[in-house]
Each structure stands twice: as structure tokens, then as C-alpha cells.
Structure 1
Amino acid sequence: MRYSRKKIFLCMLSVLLIGTIVYIELFSYYINTYNWRQIQCQHRDKCTKILLVADPQIIGNHEEILHFLTPLTIFDSDRFLMKTYIHAYNFIEPDIVIFLGDLMDEAHRASNHEFHQYVRRIINIFLDTSSSSSVRHIWLPGDNDIGGEDSLVTKEKIERFEHAFSQPSFITFRHLNLFKINRLVSEIPVYKKKREFFDTSEIFIGLSHVPLLFKPSIFVEKVLNKMMPHVLFTAHEHKSMIINTDAHLRQDIHLTQVTPENHEIFEYSLGTKDIYEFLIPTASYRMGTNKIGYGYAVIENNDLKYTVLWSPSRFNHLILYGFLVFLLFLYSLNKILCKCCRLLKCSHRKKIYSY
């Protein structure tokens, strides 16, 4: 009877472990997509779907606190990014994918060899899973890619990034004009045509790693005055919010927090009065926040609709794994102690019989 109970307990523990792994690694990502809101197009040929990826910051080779666990943390983080990205990609079926910088965590300190290793990992995570040639991919550098916060921005770092992700700083797609803003070195594309903010025959979209309206400066004023963007997509803060202000007066700034509890689809008419900035949350669970996900924007004519596709909490997954490992540890410890007790009893009996 005692043996049968042990066998049943071991079978239950095995089923629990296998079932938990299957649920977490397969079904949890799929089930999470039921929380996402789909944005419908009225006319698909006039509608542009945009997937926004911010701060994936793939783990580098040197700066993990528990360095001996670096290969394991790299594997888990890369795999999480790949799984959440492919679900977001398949859900949206985007026309454009925009990577808003900080692709790599340690690229600003990396040797050329390490940098190219990191680039290959970026390609494996994001491009091998979404290989459609009709989708436009736009890449921006962040401070962890070329420097700017913890290290200096140098010409060599900028050229290295641009060589790996070669494309112009001004990109046209249908009636959208997307232009890159590098606040780290205060650069914007040269644009000499005259235009009015209220003219929405062409929509101007500014892309920047570092927020603009959120952190006003002389450079920000230059961007707004010369380029007159209708909308801005930015990152860096690892937060999700929408900022709007009057495009001409720019006196009062209104903030709208976007949280996982709020699955609202935000709708705006571009070129009417306000300029809008969308801060995209980080896609990585390693950034110290549970509020992680991907931005999802649809632009049709001069109407913009936006929501966030929130990712499941990897921390909760890892806590559950830790609990199961703890159960296995207790079971193994109990088995060892029972075996020791039996050996001690046998030894004691032998001594008694020897007398």
C-alpha cells in the first residue's frame, strides 16, 4: 500500500510538471491572444497596418549578474521574444514593422565580432519568423545600440549599425511618409518641400527611439517646425502612453496611460488640430516591468487607430517553474531522508543482533 501511494504521488508530480511545461510553452501564448483587440479596415488597399517593436534589448554576453547563467537567460529571453513576436505578427498581418531602437542591450560596448553575433540573433528572432518580402521593416538605433547614456556615441558605432540595418532615413509607403529622428545625435532628414500640417493627402510619421513631446527641447522644436509630423512613434521609457498637444501652440500636453487592464482601441483624426506621440512599451520581460507588449496601429486615410498587444508575464511563468522545482527538491529530499532512516534502522538492528 505504501509503495502504491509513492507511485501515485510520483505519477501526479510528473503529470503536473509535464502539463505545466506544455501549457506555459505552447498554450499560454496562444490563449493570451484572446485578450487582444483586432482593428478592422474599411478598405484593405487603403489601410496600412503597423506593428511597433520597442526595446527588445536582447541580452549580451557580459553584464548578467549571475554570469554562469548567461547562456540559459539568453536562450529563455530570445525564445520569449520570438514567441510573442510571431503571435503579434500573425495577429496583425502587418504592412510595416517598425523597430524603435535598443535592439541589443550591450551593442554600444561590443566588439565588432560580438556586435555581428547580436545582429544574427536579431535576425533569427524577428526576421526568420516573418519572412514575407512584401512587409517593410524599419530599424532605428537606440542608446544601447550606438551609445548615448552609459557610453559615448561615436561615428564608428553609428556606421556599424547603419551597415547592419541599411536603409534611408526617409521612407515612403502608400500615402505615408515615415522619417527617422535621431535625438541621440540631434539628426533629422533633409526635407525641403513646403507643406501644411492640415494637408493630410500625405501623412507624416516621425520615428524616434527617445521621446520628443515627453521631453521638450530646442531640438524637438526644430523637428516639429521643420517636419510638421502628424504622429510620432517613440520608445525608450519602457512605458505605454499617448501624448497629444496642439500642433501649433504646443502649450498644454495631455497624457493618456495605456495599461494591460485597458484593452481600448484609441481613435484619432490626424491633421485636424493635435499632434500625437505614442510611447510603445518594451517587448522584453527583462526590463523590470510586467507591462510588456507590442504597439498596433492602423492608418486609413487620415484616421489612426491604436492599441497594445500585451504579452503574458514571463515572470509568472518562471515563478511557477521555481515552485515545481521546489516540489521536486522536497520530494527528492524526503526520499533521501527516508532511505537514510532505513539504513540507520538496519544498522541499529544488526548491532542488537550481534549482541
Structure 2
Amino acid sequence: MSFNTNFYSRRSKSLMRCFKVIGPPLLLVIGLIVYNEYYIFYSAISHCNWPCKHGRCSETSLKAFMISDTHLLGKINGHWLDKLKREWQMYQSFQIAKWILNPEVVFFLGDLMDEGKWAEKSLFSSYANRFRQLFGDDKMVITLAGNHDIGFHYAVMPDTLEMFRKEFQRGLIDDIQIKNYRFVLINSMAMHGDGCRLCHEAEVELDRIKNRSSETRPIVLQHFPLYRKSDSVCEKMDEQHVVDLKEKYREQWDTLSKDSTRKLISTLNPIAVFDGHTHKMCKKKWKSSQAPGYFYEYTVNSFSWRNGDVPSILLAVMDGEDVFVNSCRLPSEAHQIKVYVVGGLAVLIFVITLVIKRRSIFKRRCSYSLLMYRSPEKCE
């Protein structure tokens, strides 16, 4: 009995000594991870606000997330660590943003996956399932096709187009209504205007929409931006938005063609246009032949760290004939890496200091034991 008591007493003392050494740095590491993987997302998104008219959204208004270019990595070009990091960043950002801001609808403006254009049926289905696991699959999550989902115009295969339609219930052009607001969702790859079967079907549907007796002007959603030569025509969206004045855009690759752009504007007379594809933010004012004489196009920044250091969500509030927009910037990946480096060095310095201090205490105890005619082997 005495032996057991002494054994457990020595063991508990040993565990306490271990905790004194390991505990503080372990708590610091846990705190660092919690800060970098949870708090920075909450902190960034908590500063975002809906751009409501007069500071308060009415009951008839509609609050929407506009998200683009998630580019979920696939099996060909996606390294597992890169995939894990990017998906965690997007999952955290999306779930925390939904919790804090509570949107009524979420639009994903294309390039949901990175390698959908190369995937056969079962692999495409697995990519689509992964998207739904991260972002949900309820009816208020609405998706559009991008060139990475089904391929550029010249490479779109009927099977891939059918797989996207089946997985995401999306046609070439869809005319939907949410609350009292009308949205026209366009497959940009069908707007090449070269008379192919894909483009012909889209043009027929556009003409059908034009002939419908509806006085409601739509909000147009698509993947490609309307035609522009570069972002030099863009207005700044927020303090972090730096307009790229150098890159030139290629017609029908980086933007829609001039003809397709004119056709969309004259046919639909939109209240606003939202698109993505460039991985950059842009606000551009367009002239309209009908009242009120203009509308704004908003190109949405990529949602993934893989396509830029400071991704974002566009917060859009539809209120009658008005559309109000705020950019909600997510945390910077560079900032997260810097915190990990600085925090890791701080933990390392703390551990080294602790070890040196423990060794100094150990030596003093041994010296004292020798002076008291005790065996050094008994030093603790």
C-alpha cells in the first residue's frame, strides 16, 4: 500500500513537472491556431455591413451574397495540402459570413471547381458534391457555370454541359424570380455569337425573354464581364481596391464580345450586372438607351486565397429599382502567414528560455546537494 502511494505520488509530481515545461508553450500554440484559423475570419467579417438604404433594410428588399471563382481544386493539379488550406479558408469565410450577415440568397458566379472541364461523370459528381458540402445545397444557393466548370466556348462538350445542368439545375439562360426581384442567369460560354448550336439556343432564349410582357427590369448574372479593354475604366470599390491599369483583356476570352455585350444590354435593359472571371474587383458605369439612362456592372473578386491575397464577398441589397453594393474583404493570407511565423518564433524563444532556466535550476540544486554531502544522482 505504501509502495503504491509513493509510486502515484512520484508519478503525479513527474506529470506536474512535465506540464510546467510543456503546458505554457502548448497553450501558446493552441491560442495561435485558434486566432489564425477562427478569430481572423470572424474579426474581418464582423466589420462588414449591408449597404441598406438610409442605414436600414426594408422588408421588401433582398439581401444577397455575390461570390465568384471558388476554384475547388481537383485531382490533376490540386496538391492535397493546398486543397485543404484553400477549402478551409473558404468554408470558414462562408459559414461565418452566413452566421453574421444572414443573406437571403447566395449567388456563385461561375468557376465553382477548377477541373470540371476535364472530369468524367463520376469525378464531376464528386466535385459537385464537395461544393455542396462546403457551401450547402438548399434552394437559396444558386450557381452559374464558368469556363473551368464546363470549358471555354470552343471546348464545351454536350456531356459536360449536361452534367452541370443535372448537378446544379442550370440551363443556358434562366429567368428566375426571388421575392419581387427578377434575375437573368446567363451561361457566358453560350454568348460567343458565332452561330453554333449552343449560341443559337441561347439567342433564341434571349429573344423569348425580350418578347415576354414584363415591365420588371432584371438583374443580370454571368461569369464573363461585359466587354472592356482593361480595368482602367473601373471605379474603386473600397480602400483596399487597387485598380490594375496594365493588364489588357482579350475579347471572348477575358470578357464577352462587343456584339454580345450590346445584345445583352439592348435585350435585357438590366438594373445591374454581376460577373466574375478576372479574379479582380471592378465597378463600371454603363450607358443605357432606356430610363434611367445608366446601370452599373460589378465584377466580383475571387473568393479563394489561391487567386489573390485578399478575397472578398460582394454584399448586394436590391431595393425596388435600386441596387446597393458593399465589398466585404476577407482576411489576408499574407497576414495569416506572418502571424504564424512571428507566433512560432515567439513560442520557440519561450521554449528555449524555459529549457535554459530549467537547466540553471537543475545545476543549482546539484551544487547545493554536493555541498550538503548528498549524492548528485539524487538531484532533481
Asked if these proteins are the same fold (TM beyond 0.5), I'd say: yes
Matches within 5 A, 1:175-254: 175-186=180-191, 187=202, 189-190=205-206, 191-193=208-210, 202-214=216-228, 215=255, 216-248=257-289
Larger radius of gyration: 2
CA distance in 2, matches of 1:217, 1:92: 37
Q: Find out whether 1:36 has 2:39 as its counterpart.
A: no
1:277 to 297, 304, 322: 297
Q: Find out whether 1:316 has 2:335 as its counterpart.
A: yes
Partner secondary structure for residue 184 of structure 1: helix
CA distance in 2, matches of 1:26, 1:173: 33
Q: Aligned partner of 1:98: which letter? A: F
Tell me by how many angstroms 1:218 deviates.
1.1
1:303-328: CA deviation from partner (whole Å, max 9, x where unpaired): 21101111111343234335556777
Partner secondary structure for residue 163 of structure 1: helix
RMSD: 3.2
Tell me by how many angstroms 1:234 deviates.
0.4
Q: What residue number does 1:46 align with?
A: 60
Partner secondary structure for residue 59 of structure 2: helix
2:34 to 10, 13, 22: 22
Contact 1:50 1:98 in 2 (8 A): yes
Q: Aligned partner of 2:160: which letter? A: K
Comparing 97-106 and 38-47, the one that deviates more: 38-47
1:165 to 164, 168, 171: 168
Tell me by how many angstroms 1:124 deviates.
0.5
Partner secondary structure for residue 312 of structure 1: coil
1:85 to 71, 81, 94: 94
Cα–Cα, structure 1 residues 95 and 327, in superposed 2: closer, same or farther, change >3 Å? closer
Cα–Cα, structure 1 residues 51 and 127, in superposed 2: closer, same or farther, change >3 Å? same
Q: Find out whether 1:137 has 2:146 as its counterpart.
A: no
CA distance in 1, matches of 2:162, 2:209: 25
Contact 2:164 2:170 in 1 (8 A): no
Q: Aligned partner of 1:294: which letter? A: I
Q: Find out whether 1:72 has 2:60 as its counterpart.
A: no
Comparing 181-190 and 223-232, the one that deviates more: 181-190
Cα–Cα, structure 1 residues 324 and 291, in superposed 2: closer, same or farther, change >3 Å? closer
Contact 1:60 1:105 in 2 (8 A): yes
Unaligned 5+ runs, structure 2: 1-17, 192-201, 229-254, 356-380
1:292 to 307, 311, 318: 311
1:52-81: CA deviation from partner (whole Å, max 9, x where unpaired): 1100011111214xxxxx222222211211
CA distance in 2, matches of 1:9, 1:324: 18
Q: Find out whether 1:58 has 2:78 as its counterpart.
A: no
How many aligned residue pairs are there? Answer: 296
Tell me by how many angstroms 1:12 deviates.
4.6
Partner secondary structure for residue 76 of structure 1: helix
Q: What residue number does 2:179 align with?
A: 174
Unaligned 5+ runs, structure 1: 1-5, 65-69, 250-270, 336-355
More strand by share: 1
More helix by share: 2
